Structure 1
Amino acid sequence: MNTTDRTPADLLRSALAGDSGRPLVTYYDDTSGERVELSAVTLANWVAKTAGLLQDELGAEPGDRIAVLLPAHWQTAAWLLACSATGVVADIGGDPAAADLVVTGPDRLEEARACSGERVALSLRPLGARFPQTPEGFTDYAVAVPGQPDTFAPWEEPDPDAPALAVDGREFTAAELVAGGRESARGLGMSAGDRLMSTRDYDSWEGLAAGLYAPLAVGGSVVLCRPAGALDQRTRTRRAESEHVTHFAD
């Protein structure tokens, strides 16, 4: 963590400048049995490629709004940080008809079709696999993102004081996401090196803070567990021990 960080993209750069090989986001899907672990280096690579897709392939510009119809997931974290890197406003659960672009999981494809702009679909299958057949009218993220460059340079640096994210009736600038992440980390008792297990979804500020912004803001890490109802107490205890969890957000 660097006190001069003004955007979530800055926070990721600070994580890279520290112990870049440590786990930053670990994801469990207790329906499929999937476990994915991303270091700061690996997450930054996904963010760079996703930002390149947004800016260079989909033509998104700073201030454009993207309806994000995705659950708490490691790929969602990459999309949120890519939005920060490009200056695109991430509208969590936003109306696709009112958005410039939309990104969706497989369960909200019909809803996402209301967007008249670019549409991107994620299969959310284990290891980021592609759809067996690309949904009509959508770009398959798993097909489009691998060919993007491993580094990203924005056309213009995002303004920390410009809108960056909307969720549950609240709107945040990039600087407010950083400040809110730090405040949430204090509320959760987190500090550098701590590891948080979160079963919260990304449909509220509390879920987004616990599942991404708070750990990132203080140099910690997060273990995302989905869906929350599938995690029994025995599994939770065993996982917390194996993942060296220090804090919980349920």
Structure 2
Amino acid sequence: MNATDRTPADLLRSALAADPGRPLVTFYDDATGERVELSVATLANWVAKTANLLQGDLAAEPGDRLALLLPAHWQTAVWLLACSSTGVVADLGGDPAGADLVVSGPDTLDAARACPGERVALALRPLGGRFPQPPQGFTDYAVEVPGQGDRFAPYAPVDPDAPALRVDGTELTAAQVVERARADAARRGLGPGSRLLSGLPYDTWEGVSAGLFAPLAGGGSVVLCRHLDRLGAEGLDKRRESERVTALAV
């Protein structure tokens, strides 16, 4: 990563320039058996499309607040980086009633309806599948995102010192997210080629750092596991071996 990177979106751009083909996020859902591996280039493409959806179709502007009601999931990582790309403040588990827009999984749709602005729903089905029946009052992410552009350019430069992320009741600027992520990467010994397996939820800084920001800042990758408790000790050992895991956060 470059020392001049000051936003999570900057970190992703540097990773893309350095080695677009390497794995960045490997996602497991141990309740369904799903496994998805995204290279830097694939994740960056999803981020670009989502940022174009945010800025274009949803008319989100820098400083707008987005209540992000999603679990630890590869699509949540996409939304976090898309928010960073547009200057939108990602409020993890935030109150939809006080947000400008909301992004919800299938289990939080009722709560998400309190948002007075745009509402986006994710089915969180394997391979990014859509809802069998679109939820009323919501944009189905899986329907709208494929047609978005593969390249993204913000209408205005993103300010690294502006609010970017709210988690654990703490608001962080983009630059603070990067600074913390770099410190966490150093503490965990993450560097190029490292593989951190995280079973932590995205509702704390520790979880979102281990599950995305620290591996990205360190030049490594993350094995992001949902419902890891269903795997068992023996299964976890096998996954650590098969995924060449070098660090653990559970």
What whole-Å deviation, never above 9, does each CA across 1:45-83 have from its counterpart, x for those lacking one? 000000000000000000000000000000000000000
- What amino acid does structure 2 have at the position aligned with 1:62? P
- What amino acid does structure 1 have at the position aligned with 2:161? D
Give secondary structure in 1 for the equivalent of 2:108: helix
1:170, 1:185 → 2: CA distance? 20
1:20 maps to 2:20: yes
Give the corresponding residue for 1:242: 242
Extract unaligned runs of 5+ from structure 1.
Answer: none
What whole-Å deviation, never above 9, does each CA across 1:171-206 have from its counterpart, x for those lacking one? 110001100101111221212221100000000000
1:71, 1:103 → 2: CA distance? 11
1:49, 1:19 → 2: CA distance? 20
Deviation at 1:168, TM superposition (A): 1.2
Deviation at 1:228, TM superposition (A): 2.7
Deviation at 1:235, TM superposition (A): 1.0
1:69 maps to 2:65: no
Deviation at 1:231, TM superposition (A): 2.2
2:69, 2:183 → 1: CA distance? 26
Counterparts of 1:28-43 in structure 2, within 5 Å, are 28-43=28-43
2:190–2:219: 8 Å Cα contact kept in structure 1?
no
- Aligned residue-pair number: 250
1:141, 1:247 → 2: CA distance? 33
What whole-Å deviation, never above 9, does each CA across 1:137-189 have from its counterpart, x for those lacking one? 00000000000000001000110000000011111100011001011112212
Deviation at 1:229, TM superposition (A): 1.6
2:186–2:218: 8 Å Cα contact kept in structure 1?
no
2:178, 2:115 → 1: CA distance? 29
Give secondary structure in 2 for the equivalent of 1:106: coil
**TM-score under structure 1 normalisation?**
0.99
- What amino acid does structure 2 have at the position aligned with 1:116? P
Percent identity of the aligned residues? 70
Extract unaligned runs of 5+ from structure 2.
Answer: none
1:231, 1:15 → 2: CA distance? 31
How much is the aligned-residue C-alpha RMSD, in angstroms? 0.6
What whole-Å deviation, never above 9, does each CA across 1:112-132 have from its counterpart, x for those lacking one? 000010000000011110000
Deviation at 1:92, TM superposition (A): 0.4
